[in-house]
Structure 1
Amino acid sequence: MAKQERGARSRQAILEAAAEVFDLRGYDAASTNEILARSGLTRGALYHHFASKEAIATALLDAHSGALSAPERSTRLQSVIDLTFAFAVQLQHDPVLRAGVRLAVEKTSFPIPVNTPYEQSTATVRELLGEAQRRGEILPGLDLDDATSVIIGAFTGLQVMSQVYTNREDLPGRIGVMWRFLLPGMAAPGLIGSLRVTPPPADVVAADRAQAEARVEVANGSSD
């Protein structure tokens, strides 16, 4: 068990070091030498976990799907809204997620896998909007594919602008503005007034984190 834990820590250290380098320099300019220097590990340790720089990048992209766990809310539209806020906050603090987003946005020599971060995000949001429609939360006749595309596209553009201007410090505020503009064209009459377009309160965030950790523990227990 101790050996497994050391291996998991080494793998995470490599991912975090690579994320910092990719986020700083981009995929093509990043080198395994700099990744190793930041991680403090040996080249043998790196190649024990990852066969190449491409394999590291693929693992970073895989981390993107873990950030797409929608919180449980009384309405599915609020779940979508709070998912975007949670993703925005994680972008501010998690170099692994930031690196995955940069890998997805940039045109580099790295071959993006078939199931790209955009497709992962699109599938998650489209599923939530479908549930919202079945619950009567969506305006009749709304094209859910178009709505999903606009949400993903608007979020992507805003996070890039926020990165350029404030290093993503103002990203949650920009996301709130996005929803104030989008909801009148999406939400059923009478629902808009009950939807929050600001980040969730601290106690709600803490409850979401506890639920997420519980799901991870259950998943790890079932895999043992």
Structure 2
Amino acid sequence: MAKQDRAIRTRQTILAAAAKVFEQRGYQAATISEILGTAGVTKGALYFHFESKDDLAQGVLAEQDQRMVVPRRACRTQELVDVVMLHAHRLQTDPMVRAGVRLSLDQQAHDLDRSGPFLRWGQVMDKLLHDARDRGELLPHVIPTETGEVLVGSFAGVQAMSQAVSDYQDLPDRVCALLRHVLPTVVLSSVLASIDLSRTRGALVLAELDASPETALSPGLLDRQPVA
């Protein structure tokens, strides 16, 4: 068990170092040598866990999935808001999330498959919106899959704009504005009246997760059973 724990820690150390380098340099300029120096591990240790720079980048991108966990809510619209606002907050505070977003939006990373985060976010939104529809939270005309894709694309654009304008400092405000504009065309007004759309919502959700380890370790949204 100790050997396994050590291997897990080494892998996380390498991923954290890769995230730092990818965020600072971008995919094309980042080198294995710089990642090795930042991680303080041997080349053998790195290649035991990751086959290439591409494999490292995919590892960083996949780490976003582990940060989509939010407490289950009776109102699925609130749960959707919580997922989005938590991600926005973590973009300001979590280097791994910032690196993943930098990679997913890096149009110079020609050799890197950047579709994964967009597809996974689409799946998360699709599940939550289908569930919200089944609970009677959505307006009759809403097509959950279509709405989910619009939200993912819009959210990505807001992230890119916030990064360019303020290095994510204004991201909570921009995301709140996005949700205030989009949700009234999707969600019943009676449901919206109970939704917390405050700019501090992401920080509140993170504090809730930190205070409840069993919640933080629960399955991610992608692992939940499909909505019937």
Q: Normalising by structure 1, what TM-score?
A: 0.88
In 2, Cα distance between equivalents of 1:201 and 1:164: 21
Matched, 1:215 2:218: yes
Could you list the runs of 5+ residues in structure 2 that have no partner in the other structure? 220-228
Matched, 1:112 2:113: yes
1:146-185 residue pairs with structure 2 within 5 A? 146-185=146-185
Cα distance change of structure 1 residues 116 and 204 upon mapping to structure 2, 3 Å threshold: closer
- How far off is 1:27 after superposition? 0.9
Cα distance change of structure 1 residues 169 and 191 upon mapping to structure 2, 3 Å threshold: same
In 1, Cα distance between equivalents of 2:178 and 2:204: 24
Q: Aligned residue for 1:75? A: 75
2:17 alignment partner AA:
A
Cα distance change of structure 1 residues 174 and 43 upon mapping to structure 2, 3 Å threshold: same
- How far off is 1:2 after superposition? 2.3
1:19-58 residue pairs with structure 2 within 5 A? 19-58=19-58
Cα distance change of structure 1 residues 41 and 204 upon mapping to structure 2, 3 Å threshold: closer
- CA deviations 1:74-96 (Å, max 9, x no partner) are 31111001110111112222222
Q: Aligned residue for 2:207? A: 206
In 2, Cα distance between equivalents of 1:161 and 1:42: 38
- CA deviations 1:136-170 (Å, max 9, x no partner) are 11011112223112211111111111111221122
In 2, Cα distance between equivalents of 1:30 and 1:202: 31
Q: Normalising by structure 2, what TM-score?
A: 0.86
Contact 2:20 2:96 in 1 (8 A): yes
Contact 2:138 2:186 in 1 (8 A): yes
- How far off is 1:212 after superposition? 3.3
Identical amino acids, percent of aligned pairs? 37
- CA deviations 1:103-155 (Å, max 9, x no partner) are 22223233317x61101000111110011111111011112223112211111
Matched, 1:96 2:96: yes
In 2, Cα distance between equivalents of 1:140 and 1:48: 52
> Number of paired residues?
215
Could you list the runs of 5+ residues in structure 1 that have no partner in the other structure? 217-224
Contact 1:27 1:110 in 2 (8 A): no
Q: Aligned residue for 1:2? A: 2
In 1, Cα distance between equivalents of 2:116 and 2:203: 31
In 2, Cα distance between equivalents of 1:214 and 1:14: 22
2:22 alignment partner AA:
F
Contact 1:68 1:121 in 2 (8 A): no
1:135 alignment partner AA:
R
2:96 alignment partner AA:
V
**Higher relative contact order structure (alpha carbons within 8 Å, sequence separation ≥ 6):** 2
In 1, Cα distance between equivalents of 2:216 and 2:66: 12
Contact 2:22 2:30 in 1 (8 A): yes
1:137-152 residue pairs with structure 2 within 5 A? 137-152=137-152
In 1, Cα distance between equivalents of 2:61 and 2:203: 28
In 1, Cα distance between equivalents of 2:50 and 2:12: 11
Q: Aligned residue for 2:128? A: 128
- How far off is 1:98 after superposition? 2.0
Contact 1:126 1:148 in 2 (8 A): yes
